[in-house]
Structure 1
């Protein structure tokens, strides 16, 4: 009996050390049938989830993973309704920042010890993204999965036609190249030199603005030495970035509200360059296989770096089989399955200790998303429950500002815009007890 207990303890210890097998086949077969629902907000990943679910089912025939995805904004609204009502799926795919309000309210259980051990192992995931998983209460809740790193996409044929041979490396070159690359039919812009995020739902406008604000020396909210926060854009960096948008749209006419934007414009040959995550590579392979393009690291300014937005996987508190759910998530994070994720969707895995070279060698445009340099900073979303509200409301003000031609060459108007937005940002921080200047 003592020997049997000893062997059971040793087995449990080994399983935790490996970190990749949270349940044993016997545990998975303890019931006749186990069904786990997985909800996600990135529909392009659904085929990968299903492929991995089928492989997991082959290992554990009584376990079925049901996958359901929907467009991101609809999905976030769905979570807001279902998580508090305890009607959400067993597994939830989400970024840490919209999940903070649920974590703070105690609506999602912490990750088990062996998952935390796997996630926090040195060199396994980017330190900044692991830190993003650490909630204010000191617990880890989600398991890192994929990430949104950003690069400049540039159309090599359009660059050649404009007499340009290399992508922009600085913020000054971004503005200069955008003007040279814009194409017109008479006075009408038919292909933008740089596709900016001028409109759209949610906080996406604010996020893309942030990526130009950062090299100019600003940020959305800035943390003080005391651990408090205040707005980080009501300054010269904010004014410079707003003016860049206004100038490119209204003065230089290198972009316009009246043409297509983002990945669609790039794939249709209606913009020369834009900033986006790695998924566009996979999307372009399907929709524009003959597009001659490459990618480049984010441009330098007063500082240099890239916004990394992690997407994690959580297990809800009403999940009937959390042990099976976590085991599937660890299986999803295996090297083979992460190579499949990158190859089939273009989304970059968060894991650093896996070999992605077979995919990168086949598609070199991914190299820019794996770029690193001593002074290339990786920054992330603050893990504050109110940050989503802050970014969304700031984005609403930006959308209206980009439509306002009167703000061109109007420094007082731009300053007023940012002062009013900053007052709202700081008020939200105060309401949540997070505001401070020291």
Structure 2
């Protein structure tokens, strides 16, 4: 059922006015644009402000917003795309666009991307997953990515006066912080999103496309170098080799106060401070360091794109809504309200006063997404990267373990 948190439903409006659906008193026609957003993506305050302003500027349009849960959203979106009652605009995860585009049920937004939306300035980690075979189906909306969160008191006690600028310095300070009952860094053994950044920094890939077919690529020399760096960094702490970052939740481990660093999104800080109020005001942030001083390290960039179903009743009106949400004005509002990274590199300055978000924005400029295969979800469903990482950290031959993981990825990526 369509619903709206701060306005009467269309059906109720129709009943109260004794008019046909979409027809208001005086005979003026309203176009209802149905928008699906994900639960938690925006605050009610932001959404009400956007809707009020948009409807004021577009008096013939009424926005009807429904919040969706992430759990099970893939099947729900696919069903909507195939139905004759598709919403006009849908928020989707940036790595999900390829799956939906494969259905040929999305509107091609390439023209609007170039003409109206400044696509040349988009963050690659949001833009590239939305582009399929040269056509843009997903419009970048917002981004979030991992940074290094550190304990300022532990840094100061170790004589470390500023964050590291490259990987070599990062290893040095992590080793310096480690010992005497403290961990230099808490890095679990199966944090494969973090590993992906190290692989990309080395020039490697998780998977590559050849002749229309996708193949696992963890066994390449570049990818193995990324794993070797992960192994060295992970050794400067006591993170479990056979678990990921939520087992146990790394924010809870960090909150104990004896861990120098974790790699996480800045939104982890409220949970840390709630678990240990004594850490409030004592946490800092820096981008994941790169191989050289010239740029931060590559990171996996998560976030959302906006898509328009081909079967939507009001596609032109939908594109106007997407254009507004992706505009500089509302990107700035969204970043300041929700502490997200805006969709364009040129807008990074709007969040400079927020240390955590600014660190995200610096890393997001080199952000990447998972391989743009419609079948990538099958890889994550039974993720072979995690046991591969554990095998290496527990002493197995890296090349052999990587080859086995690559073969499993290849099998999962077969249509």
Q: TM-score range by the shorter chain?
A: 0.7 to 0.9
CA contact (8 A) 2:385 2:405 kept: no
Secondary structure of 2:284 counterpart: strand
Alignment match of 2:122 (pick from 117, 120, 125): 125
CA contact (8 A) 1:147 1:349 kept: yes
Quick check: 1:306 aligned with 2:295? no
Alignment match of 2:384 (pick from 385, 397, 418): 397
> What is the aligned partner in structure 1 of residue 321 from structure 2?
328
CA distance change for structure 1 residues 44 and 102 in 2, over 3 Å: closer, same or farther? closer
> What is the aligned partner in structure 2 of residue 146 from structure 1?
142
Tell me how far apart the structure 1 counterparts of residues 323 and 332 of structure 2 sit (CA, whole Å): 15
CA contact (8 A) 2:200 2:223 kept: no
CA contact (8 A) 1:129 1:380 kept: yes
> What is the aligned partner in structure 2 of residue 193 from structure 1?
184
CA distance change for structure 1 residues 227 and 160 in 2, over 3 Å: closer, same or farther? farther
> What is the aligned partner in structure 2 of residue 169 from structure 1?
165
Shift of 1:129: 4.6
The Cα offsets for residues 34-84 of structure 1, whole Å up to 9 and x where unpaired, read as 25232326x1424333431232234345513314042x4543454345444
CA distance change for structure 1 residues 119 and 399 in 2, over 3 Å: closer, same or farther? same
Tell me how far apart the structure 1 counterparts of residues 256 and 72 of structure 2 sit (CA, whole Å): 26
> What is the aligned partner in structure 2 of residue 337 from structure 1?
330
Q: Which runs of 5+ in 1 are unaligned?
A: 1-28, 186-190, 200-204, 433-438
Secondary structure of 2:97 counterpart: helix
Secondary structure of 2:91 counterpart: strand
Alignment match of 1:233 (pick from 200, 211, 218): 218
The Cα offsets for residues 140-192 of structure 1, whole Å up to 9 and x where unpaired, read as 2222211234432222222223332222334344445445445786xxxxx75
CA contact (8 A) 2:142 2:303 kept: yes
CA contact (8 A) 2:207 2:214 kept: yes
CA distance change for structure 1 residues 174 and 334 in 2, over 3 Å: closer, same or farther? same
> What is the aligned partner in structure 1 of residue 285 from structure 2?
295
CA contact (8 A) 2:143 2:342 kept: yes
Tell me how far apart the structure 2 counterparts of residues 415 and 147 of structure 1 sit (CA, whole Å): 34
> What is the aligned partner in structure 1 of residue 9 from structure 2?
none
> What is the aligned partner in structure 2 of residue 261 from structure 1?
249
Tell me how far apart the structure 2 counterparts of residues 286 and 118 of structure 1 sit (CA, whole Å): 43
Tell me how far apart the structure 1 counterparts of residues 252 and 64 of structure 2 sit (CA, whole Å): 32
> What is the aligned partner in structure 2 of residue 208 from structure 1?
194
Tell me how far apart the structure 2 counterparts of residues 195 and 253 of structure 1 sit (CA, whole Å): 5
CA contact (8 A) 1:155 1:292 kept: yes
Count of paired positions: 379
CA distance change for structure 1 residues 325 and 401 in 2, over 3 Å: closer, same or farther? same
Tell me how far apart the structure 1 counterparts of residues 283 and 189 of structure 2 sit (CA, whole Å): 23
Q: Which runs of 5+ in 2 are unaligned?
A: 1-26
Note the 1:13-412 alignment, pairs <5 A. Answer: 31-32=29-30, 34-40=32-38, 43-47=40-44, 48-60=46-58, 63-70=62-69, 72-85=70-83, 89-111=87-109, 113-120=111-118, 122=120, 124-126=121-123, 129-136=126-133, 138-181=134-177, 192-196=183-187, 198=189, 205-222=191-208, 230-239=215-224, 241-242=226-227, 253-256=237-240, 260-263=248-251, 265-266=253-254, 269=257, 271-277=259-265, 279=267, 290-301=280-291, 305-307=297-299, 308-309=301-302, 311-354=304-347, 357-360=349-352, 362-371=353-362, 378-393=367-382, 396-401=383-388, 408-411=394-397
Tell me how far apart the structure 1 counterparts of residues 53 and 272 of structure 2 sit (CA, whole Å): 27
CA distance change for structure 1 residues 241 and 85 in 2, over 3 Å: closer, same or farther? same
Shift of 1:350: 1.0
CA contact (8 A) 2:106 2:309 kept: yes
Shift of 1:33: 6.0
> What is the aligned partner in structure 1 of residue 6 from structure 2?
none
CA contact (8 A) 1:245 1:402 kept: no
Tell me how far apart the structure 1 counterparts of residues 166 and 270 of structure 2 sit (CA, whole Å): 27
With structure 2 as the length reference, what TM-score do the two structures score? 0.73
> What is the aligned partner in structure 2 of residue 17 from structure 1?
none
Shift of 1:428: 4.3
Tell me how far apart the structure 1 counterparts of residues 162 and 189 of structure 2 sit (CA, whole Å): 26
The Cα offsets for residues 118-151 of structure 1, whole Å up to 9 and x where unpaired, read as 13555x4246754443212x43222221123443
Shift of 1:391: 4.8
Tell me how far apart the structure 2 counterparts of residues 263 and 87 of structure 1 sit (CA, whole Å): 42
Secondary structure of 2:201 counterpart: coil
CA contact (8 A) 2:34 2:63 kept: yes
Shift of 1:99: 2.0
